[in-house]
Structure 1
Amino acid sequence: MQRKAYVPGTAALLVALLAGCSSGSADSGTTDDANPGEAGTATAVAQPGKYRTLPEPCGAVGHSTLDTLLPGIKQIADPDQREAAYAGDATLTYDTDRKVGCRWKVESTDATDHLLVDFERVVSYDNAVSDDSQAQTIFATKETAADLPEPTASATASDTESNSASASGSASASDSATPSATPSSSSSASASDSTSASPTASASPTGLEPRTLSGLGDEAFLDDALSSSGSTAQQRTVTVVFRTSNVIVTIEYEEQPATVGVVPDSQKMQDRARKLAAQLADSLNG
């Protein structure tokens, strides 16, 4: 049988084709491994908040402060019951690192008083949003929900005077009957105390309207609401909310007189709630 002749040019062509395929594969691998634009870049992470824990809420308010806000507590004759009243009741929470609170309720011959203190530590789960920024957003939502009226000149002046009184620790200034009263004698404090249970006390005293507050945390506001249940006595609720870094503190102070027609004193209740707020702000910063 006659064999076919071997052609050298065919072998050379095969070698050239194989070399080209190998070169293309290497180039393709280099292109696939490259990630232009990503090398050397880093994602900026927002800063965490100042606070990583929260205080024990029922221990955050001292006995002397509770004596002032809940006058009936000293009228409790039984020592065990009185101690239980001081201890308060912790609010239900599922994460004590994020939210805690405590309630007190005390009845006296003149009125029933309620106090709630709530601490909320805000944590942002968005790397682009800091804890403080998230807390600002939540605080703004609370302030919007309070539907505060537009500030007036009298309210601004009252807030400024009250802040000065708190800073100086003047008891007579905080107990004065009106924002413009001169806190120079103990008789002014007595006059204020006497109006606490007065049926003629104003429901919305000038300068005591719901408003934003200065000098308390990073931002704060106060709400004051008077409700009536028909034949029962009117109940006043004073709420102070303030934010310091990524912690939001809410204080709700309620009083319902035992006598129908008696109106709780707005000035006194606001002063007491704001003093407590200042104490809590100091303890957080201390």
Structure 2
Amino acid sequence: MRRRASTYATYRTYVKHTGLALALAGALTTLTACTGPSGSDGDDAKPGDDSSSASAAPPGKYRTLPEPCGTVSISQLKDMLPGAEAADDGSDGDSDSGSVDPSPSPFKGEATVTYDTDRRVGCRWKNATTLGTRHLNVDFERVVSYDPAVSDDEQAERLYDKKASKAEIPVTSDGASGQSEAPGEGESPGGATPDGKTSADGASSGGAKDDSATKRNHRSPESSDEGNASEGEGSSPSPEGELAPRPLDGIGDTAFINDKLDTEDSGLHRDVTLVFRTANVIATVRYDQWVTDKHRIPDSKELQDKTHDLAVQLAETFEEE
């Protein structure tokens, strides 16, 4: 009897453990079914849905930048640096003898030092005469967005708008006009169009260009004569009306020009800056004139015309790529 009782107790223990194991297996099966793959009912995120994965914004049009010191032709440099031709002896500034270095050609240009030439490059030129000094600087920045939801072009447009806002130019990407006090202090008689582009007379850039705006933005024949090219010639102390800081048409995707006259003790000089954007590249042209005689105010129209002509040529260079 003891043997049978012992066998019976062992059997009960086996059955009890086996039942517990089966119960645990059933519970695990039910839990797995309730927490199935994302394709099961009750899960909003389905494979292939736009909500589960967003496509990255397209890359910018331009992947490289031009060699900056080669973007301005000799003829343009002669026009923008009066007197430089007389100072040019055809030398590049190097001396084989090592004794006396000849003066470098004012047409050679000096490359701007940058950390990444794939992202930003520039070049500057300078010519000084007894009447004053002129400086020319071109700068190209290739904008890259690190946000997959924002394209390079959109990021470049945002950066351009910041530059325009800082210069008090009424240009914004959403089409809202900036607020300024009066013409000559950053306000333009024009306004921004719904697509973010502006025209000098307030007309939409999608329509026909106004003849007066075209004539204003095109250099007049009188501005290229010898008398107007001499250092210090001019009569406008500050830009007003058509010469006031303003958005421009016909240069890249969008552009603006700024004009400032500085009469501080450091010297009398007028600084003209033209910025334009083409796709994901922002180009800046800076052109200034310093004069030794403070009674001879640098001519705003002459400097703006020459800056405008160069910017048009640079924008066309990008369009050819």
TM-score (norm 1): 0.82
User: Distance between the aligned counterparts of 2:229 and 2:317, measured in 1?
Assistant: 32
What one-letter code is carried by the residue in structure 2 that aligns with 1:221?
F
Asked if structure 1 preserves the Cα contact closer than 8 Å seen for 2:248 and 2:257, the reply is yes
User: Distance between the aligned counterparts of 1:108 and 1:205, measured in 2?
Assistant: 29
State the shift of 1:152 in Å.
2.0
- The equivalent residue for 1:2 is 2
Instruction: Give SS of 2:107's match.
Output: helix
User: Distance between the aligned counterparts of 1:47 and 1:54, measured in 2?
Assistant: 19
User: Distance between the aligned counterparts of 1:248 and 1:214, measured in 2?
Assistant: 15
- The equivalent residue for 2:292 is 258
User: Distance between the aligned counterparts of 1:33 and 1:192, measured in 2?
Assistant: 85
Which residue of 63, 75, 78 maps to 1:64? 75
State the shift of 1:283 in Å.
0.3
User: Distance between the aligned counterparts of 1:98 and 1:108, measured in 2?
Assistant: 35
Instruction: Give SS of 1:164's match.
Output: helix
CA spacing shift, 1:205–1:198, aligned 2, 3 Å: farther
User: Distance between the aligned counterparts of 2:107 and 2:134, measured in 1?
Assistant: 13
Alignment of 1:207-226 (within 5 A): 207-226=242-261
- The equivalent residue for 2:61 is 50
State the shift of 1:12 in Å.
4.1
- The equivalent residue for 2:19 is 16
Number of corresponding residues: 269
Which residue of 220, 225, 237 maps to 1:174? 220
What one-letter code is carried by the residue in structure 1 that aligns with 2:257?
L
Please, which moves more after superposition, 217-226 or 253-262? 253-262
User: Distance between the aligned counterparts of 1:60 and 1:262, measured in 2?
Assistant: 31
Give a deviation string over 1:163-220, Cα, whole Å, max 9, x none: 63599xx7xx52446xxxxxxxxxxx64972797446444324310001111211111
Instruction: Give SS of 1:84's match.
Output: coil
CA spacing shift, 1:162–1:114, aligned 2, 3 Å: farther
CA spacing shift, 1:114–1:17, aligned 2, 3 Å: same
Asked if structure 2 preserves the Cα contact closer than 8 Å seen for 1:175 and 1:271, the reply is no
What one-letter code is carried by the residue in structure 1 that aligns with 2:312?
A
Is residue 101 from structure 1 mapped to residue 126 from structure 2 by the alignment? no
Which residue of 210, 214, 232 maps to 1:164? 214
CA spacing shift, 1:47–1:199, aligned 2, 3 Å: closer
- The sequence identity of aligned pairs, in percent, is 38
Asked if structure 1 preserves the Cα contact closer than 8 Å seen for 2:68 and 2:139, the reply is yes
State the shift of 1:92 in Å.
1.1
Larger RCO: Structure 1 or Structure 2 (Cα < 8 Å, ≥ 6 residues apart)?
1
- The equivalent residue for 1:185 is none
- The equivalent residue for 1:78 is 89
- The equivalent residue for 2:96 is none
Is residue 281 from structure 1 mapped to residue 315 from structure 2 by the alignment? yes
Unaligned segments of structure 1, at least 5 residues:
178-188
Taking only aligned residues, the RMSD between alpha carbons, in angstroms, comes to 3.1
Alignment of 1:210-249 (within 5 A): 210-230=245-265, 232=267, 234-249=268-283
Asked if structure 2 preserves the Cα contact closer than 8 Å seen for 1:196 and 1:265, the reply is no
Instruction: Give SS of 1:236's match.
Output: strand
- The equivalent residue for 1:180 is none
Give a deviation string over 1:67-88, Cα, whole Å, max 9, x none: 1111121011532157632121
Please, which moves more after superposition, 236-245 or 68-77? 68-77
Unaligned segments of structure 2, at least 5 residues:
94-102, 170-185, 191-198, 203-208
Give a deviation string over 1:218-264, Cα, whole Å, max 9, x none: 111100000113484x2011100000110000010001123231111
Q: Where is the helix percentage greater, Structure 1 or Structure 2?
A: 1
Asked if structure 1 preserves the Cα contact closer than 8 Å seen for 2:82 and 2:231, the reply is no
